[in-house]
Amino acid sequence: MGNLLKNIQSPDDVKKLSPEELPALAEELRQYILEVVSVNGGHLGAALGAIELTLALHTVFTTPKDVIVWDVGHQVHAHKILTGRRDAFRTFRKEGGLSGFSNKDESEHDPFTTGHGGASISTSLGISVGRKIQKEKGKAIAVIGDASLVSGMAFEAMNHAGHLKDNLIVILNDNEMSISPTVGAFSGYLNRIISSPVYNHVRKDIQALLSKIPKVGEGMVKQAKKFDEGLKNLFVPGLFFEELGFRYFGPLDGHNLHELIPILRNISAIQGPVLLHVITKKGKGYKIAEADPQRWHASTPFCVDTGQVKKSSQVSTYTQVFGEMAVKLAEKDRSIAAITAAMCEGTGLVEFSKKFPDRFFDVGIAEEHGVAFAAGLAKAGVKPLVSIYSTFLQRAHDQILHDVALQELPVLFCLDRAGLVGEDGPTHHGVFDLAYLRKVPGMTLMAPRDGRELRMMLEMMAKHKGGPIAARYPRGAVAEETAGPLSQVSPAILKKGRAELLREGKDVLLLPIGSMVYPAYEAALLLEKEGIQAAVLNARFVKPLDEKAIAELCEEISLVVTIEEGTLVGGFGSAVLEFLGSGRRVKTLGIPDRFIPHGKRETLLDELGLSAAKIRETVLEELNLLKQDDVAGRDLPAAL
């Protein structure tokens, strides 16, 4: 840790530094972030790119009196370090440690727990208006990236802010554009002039004076405004934002502290909504990340000197299986297209995008549009594979209902990162999809037990006709390439609405879905050692549920245990309970009605009772209760 950073305990300490010391502190922050992320993993590129901007914000503004809302929140590393979490930053993304995103429970300097894009302008505007109502002072600043700005919600908020005319500062952190030295230099000079208090005071006085001139005054004010806007837009792309009602400044070099700080001070005094456009570079200061910003958006632990990932697994992932199958299906069927929302690499569609560029669509952080766009494609006879992380598909819930299901269109939803995603935490855990998709009329909803079954489900989806169909699959390695005993058992032929009986048994029915099939099977083997015969039925389908298979097994078995890596509220277990009614003893295992913190997936699953060992414990407890209640009216295992 550098000498300057050692003395930073709070943002007040940043304000004590001279302008000459700030660039040195930026480099110390950069090295510290690299040191920690290389060990713990996590988002990197945007965090390195936002360091100077973070320093400038904390030099000019005073949090938490002034509120900074970071869109998505994956670039807040420097902000965390400067706001009293310097030493704790070594626990970044570790269980019980700091979150990888903004987190309201960590610090008063984090107003929101964030993880999804596009909401920062809305929430910042709400804070600004709310403070005016409460007669409280302080600035509200939204820091939003160019990728998040394309979100429809961001434009809705800007339109509203321009209408309200309340004080709001939006920082557009643009790390995709380039800026030439000439345009950048002139832009900086021009912005220093038009943002200065003297200029804005004179500007208002002249407008007030002109407006008093009879007949021609108002017209002259309009012409003056046009000249002002025209001068700016001759050199800088601000007309669009000005039309929305914002005063626009930029673009500025987001790594030049000597330029950023004076501009921020100037615009902090301007009344009404203001947008400052800054240009930053992803991975700034780390040449390896600068050269490949897409790869270094986030990373597992790596060697700083070489960029080499420390743990390189040869095991296939569900994402890879999907990507390979998407290409194979598209080669056979020219009507198949693929849609993703700013996650081409994350969803495994890079090869598809290269082979079929005319059938690949990255809609950006605009899931609502992506799903409605898919509905249009389906209406035209195309078969759209909509590949979006489970947690992000939540944003398009209305489009799934209104534009897809109501129209009975065969849109093919492929939900990556379903279930617990580990260190990314509650904003990214994909635990609600079974519940929010199960209630959609006409929806077919599946979850594979392993990569082999995912391939079968994708083939079924490509042939599907009628309403929407979805398959959800977890993050990480496919289950069959682990050492689990079920890996030796090939999946049975897949038929719509039909479950797969993996083991027979008379004492308890284990009824898992998707990623929980392997742990349930292993739990059955553990129970067998204790004289308990557990049947295992791989549900495969949440909707339609294989009611026939469940009913037949329940004729002989008194205890049913459903197991899902999803919320218990309205999820798979609820579907089974609704079918069986109150006449059976059903224990549901899954995600309780609360948000789950970050941590290693295996640890979280065990804590939630979803590991093989914990499933075994639950079955033993339930059978003991059943014996005590004498509900079954028949002999129970001697072991009990």
Tell me which residues are annotated as active site. Answer: 282, 367, 395
CA angle, corner 93, sides to 91 and 99, nearest 5? Answer: 95
Distance CA(298)–CA(600), nearest Å, equals 17
Side-chain half-sphere exposure of 303, counting CA atoms within 13 A: 7
Strand order in the sheet with 500-503: 500-503, 534-538, 508-512, 559-567, 585-591
Tokens standing for residue 493: 């032929």
Cβ-Cβ contacts under 8 Å for 245 (sequence gap 6 or more): 158, 159, 161, 162, 163, 165, 272, 273
Cβ-Cβ contacts under 8 Å for 582 (sequence gap 6 or more): none
Count of other CB atoms within 10 angstroms of residue 175: 21
Find how far residue 204's CA is from the centre of its chain: 43
Distance CA(476)–CA(338), nearest Å, equals 21
Residue that the structure tokens 């330029």 belong to: 259
Distance CA(502)–CA(588), nearest Å, equals 20
CB 101 within 8 A of CB 113: yes
Listed as own residue / partner, the contacts of 224-231 with beta carbons closer than 8 Å and 24 or more positions apart are: 228/194, 228/203, 231/190
CB 559 within 8 A of CB 535: no
Side-chain half-sphere exposure of 365, counting CA atoms within 13 A: 19
